[in-house]
Structure 1
Amino acid sequence: MGQAQASSTWDTYEPHCDIAPGMYRIIHDGTNKVLQIHEENHKTLIIRDRQGQGSDNSRAQNDHWFILRSGDAFIFKHYQSESYISGLLGLPVGAQPLCATRYPTTWAVRRKKDSLKCAITIPVDWDEFRPKDSYIGIGVNSTSVRLCIIPFAKKEELDQLWRLERIGDTTYEEDCANNARELERQLQAANSRCTSDELELLAMKQKLVAKEVELANMQSELGKQGEVLKAVQNASRKQAAELKEQHKVLDAIKKLLNAKEPTISEDDEKSEDSGVLREKVQEVFSGEKEPPNLEVGTDEAVKDDTVGDRGLEGADVENYAVENSLNKQVPSSTTQEQQRKGVESHSLSNATTEQSLPEPAAIPRIGIQTVQPLPASVEQKLAEIGFFHFG
């Protein structure tokens, strides 16, 4: 097959039954590469350079194998995938594949004397193959791992030699126990987390219930506020309707006022005529020391003017003259005024304040040429209150 020939023969290889169970690397002696399972095709066995300590741990552990004892033979079980190295027999020699399956195959290990090199073969009695000078074992063709015929009488071939490197004392059973303990620890941690999560979930449920109660209260309060708002809206609509009616009333009043503006203008003109009348009265009494009181109202002025136009006769003339004389008289003595009774003084004061009449000299336009003498009763009354008659 073109492989390099070794100097020794297979006669120097003996069955090695004292391998201690544990964790090993299976190293190809000719290339110093390690036996692994393909990362994508998990049934294919390959050889590859070993991974350094700083590399991915999963890839670094891909070359770890448990060696399990089975009588005088051994079983090789992969550490990660727990698959076994299996050889499918019964096919032509060139077509017999070697792969990783769930079904274990037992292998015999034959180690060279005073060396770590060994051959991994099908476990059959050595003496049965002496006449045939050959046996079936695990070899390497390029990078693929295969079953091959190992000649007994010829030189050893490096492609068919391996080394077993022990990397741990943990057996598969111990590893299973460790895994079980680890799984139990992880389960306890998961249970603790689950308990903590349950407590947290319970607290969250309580908070949720409190929030629901608070939300219900808020909804009730919002309902009450909605009713109040509805009442306010109704009141606002009512006020708006009332204001609208008031605007209508104001518009009607405005229309009435606009309709009465001509009448008001006529009243203003009458007021102006009354002012002119007052001016004429002042012109008539311009010769007197003190003009008559014109603020008693337009109606009184008009009344006086009307009386003047008709003329005063008889008793009316006498009363008018008496009142005018009373307004012009001055009491002769202050002492006599103090002796008068309060009622008479008050009556005189009221009579003087209520009406200020013009002097007799200022009545030419009334049409009276002479003034009749005052009756005796009037003169006597004037004498009693302190006034004197001038003839």
Structure 2
Amino acid sequence: MHIHPLITDTQALAELCARLATSEFVCVDTEFMRENTYWPELCLVQIADEKEAAAIDPLAPGLDLAPLLELLVKNEDVLKVFHAGGQDVEIVYNLTQDTPHPIFDTQVAMMAISQSEQIGYANLVESWLGITVDKGARFTDWSRRPLTERQIEYAIGDVTHLAKIFPRILRKLVKTGRGAWLDAEMEKLADPANYANDAGEAWKRIRATGRNPAVLGRLKALAAWRESEAQHKNIPRGRIMRDETLADLASHPPKSQGDLAKVRGLSTAWRDNDIGKRLMKVLEKAEPLPKEELPERAAPGAPLGKEGALVADLLKLLLKIRAREIDVAARLLTRSDEMEALAAGTRDLPVLKGWRYEVFGRDALELVEGRLGFTVRNGRLTMTRVEQVAEAQAEAAE
């Protein structure tokens, strides 16, 4: 594979992207910094197909990323391959208000052909290529220039290895017939709605107890205000105020700005500074959360009862057995809250639809409805249909 020198000018980037546009796939990775900013600062982009690879310097003076973004977002003929690519896709979305498409994530794909739930990149390379990845540059400050040859070599390795691994993963998916299992997962990763930064939705990321409309209305208003402040200053939202402090203010709003000095997590300066004034105005104007926006009541845990909880535990045991039998990550099949809902009587669930129903859902439903049970054969826990056990017992009795 040909490795290009660091690309720092638009002409070289355009020529590279023109060649890559004829490939069936490109592997993509990014290096960025976000510790001190609200928006992640893109510092390096690595890209490769099976023939060539390059690192692109977005911080190079005068470099226009348009040819790269055109390839990633507009070219539907080239598959974009990432590993655990959520943050990489977010960066592309921030630059274009759109996402790479079509997309393939090797971390997600590994869930369909192994029991690995979130395999790291180093382990992926070790398992497929037998290569130990140099982790020495992982904590590099990628915004500092100049980059060393070792840093660039480390960064490009992320896509050159992936370009060798991806075709092998694809072949295994085809061989096992599990490629279709991943279609919805990949489309979900490419859905721009996952990356849109809607300040009005920010409150949903904050852990809050109860469904009091007044408290949640203040929480929503405060969370949106914090996003606006952080974006304006381009600093992490936690630098404005921690989640715990924000939730406390929503639950116990101060009567005056002077009372902000008594709030744990805020400095005494808030009692008379401008940001404190803005916060108090937000609290004053906050409206109770409309009924239709109230979060759904939590799935009843206690009402499940001891029997229901036991059924949920049996479903989790069945999941563990099935995942082991077919060598698939349990998380790809279903999740704990879904199994608890199934045990509680809910039937409109993803696990009871499509390929998940065929692979796991049918047996899970039969277990809940008493048609499937556990047996031990030769020291190994297996599943047996109840009628088969009854027939065997009848034959033995005869």
TM range (shorter): under 0.3
- Greater radius of gyration (CA): 1
Which protein is richer in strand relative to its size?
A: 1
TM-score by length of 1: 0.19
